Amino acid sequence: MSDFILETRGLTKHYGGVHALTDASFTLKRAEHVAIMGDNGAGKSTFVRQITGVEQPTRGEIIFDGNAHFFNSPIAAREAGIEAVFQTLALADDLDVPSNLFLGREKIRWNLGPFSILDRRAMREATMAALVKTGVKIPNLSNTIRNMSGGQRQCVAIARTAAFKSKLVIMDEPTAALGVQETAQVENIIRTLKEAGEPLILISHNMRQVFDLVDRIVVFRRGRIVANLAKEDTDGQDVVSYITGAKTGAEFEGAA
């Protein structure tokens, strides 16, 4: 078993003539929490879209959990164990919490093709277990998502990652649209994941949040990785100068 849960080698994505991502080589250890930072259009989201199977890379390799993978769809990535929580929530408003957690992966009691009978009790119990694991507080599981606050909705989306024993969680600006208290709630969930030893990639613009939560910061600029900084060896000022291009990491000189 390799030390790394995820490794990308020379990951590259071109949209026509636009080089959105160039030679991104990235590693993530088991149980490690890493933040990806960078200005808008720096390639952060493009990078995430490649490893979650939303898009397919032009070049490069993705080694996940010791095996090389080519994800032709988000479902393939999810089946491999990569769960993503996107900025735009992928929840069905009119369904309750268990139905949303198990959307597309429902537990079945009797298999009758499309008319299979759902195992509602098992899904409810697994939902409660996932909520406990992530420390998410939802007062009433039978409530539809529509009736919930933005924070609760985000928490449900995050709890979804815990319900399926995912091997890697990716969060793309999970608190961008949330209030102070709701942000604190989501950050608590991330700490819970850290204690449980679940690896995480966090995309965030919030410097305080990043220094609070992660072990390592990877900075993207103009489609390239320009810095790989352990939290202890850096500070906010330093990270900003990498983001803006005032500095470039020694090992990434060629990338500038």
Partner 1 sequence: MASGTAQHGVGGLTYDSKKRALPPELNILVALIAITVVFELLNRYNFGWLWNDLPFQQGKSFLFNTRDNLDTLFNEQRINIILLQVAITGIIAIGVTQVIILGGIDLSSGSIVGATAMIAMSFAQTATVNGNPNPKAIFGEGFMDLWVLVPILVGLTCGLIAGCVNGLLVAYTRIPPFIATLGMMVSARGVAKWWSNGNPISFPTETYASLSNGDMMGGMTFGVLSWSGQNPALVFFLLAILFHLIMTYTLYGKRCYAIGSNEAAARMSGINIARHKVLVYTIAGLLAGVAAILLTSKTLTAQAGMGVMLELDAIAMAVIGGVSLTGGRGSIIGTVLGALIFSVIISGFTSIQLDAYYQEMVKGAIIVGAVVMDQWRQSKRGRG
Question: Using CB under 8 A as the criterion, which residues of the chain lie in contact with partner 1 when the complex forms?
Answer: 73-75, 78, 89-95, 99, 103-106, 108, 112, 114-118, 120-121, 124-125, 128-129, 131-132, 135-143, 146-147, 149-150, 188
The token pair at 149 is 């606050």
Query: Would you say 123 or 225 has its CB closer to partner 1?
Result: 123
CB neighbours of residue 149 within 10 Å: 13
The single-letter code of the amino acid at 180 is V
Least Å distance between CB 172 and partner 1? 13
- Calculate ∠ Cα 72-37-238, nearest 5°: 155
Least Å distance between CB 162 and partner 1? 13
Query: Would you say 94 or 251 has its CB closer to partner 1?
Result: 94
Least Å distance between CB 202 and partner 1? 20
Count of alpha carbons within 13 Å of 68, Cβ hemisphere only? 4
Query: Would you say 2 or 143 has its CB closer to partner 1?
Result: 143
Least Å distance between CB 9 and partner 1? 27
Query: Would you say 138 or 243 has its CB closer to partner 1?
Result: 138
Residue with structure tokens 């694991």?
Answer: 133
Least Å distance between CB 50 and partner 1? 16
The single-letter code of the amino acid at 230 is A
Residue with structure tokens 């985000």?
Answer: 154
Query: Would you say 66 or 179 has its CB closer to partner 1?
Result: 179
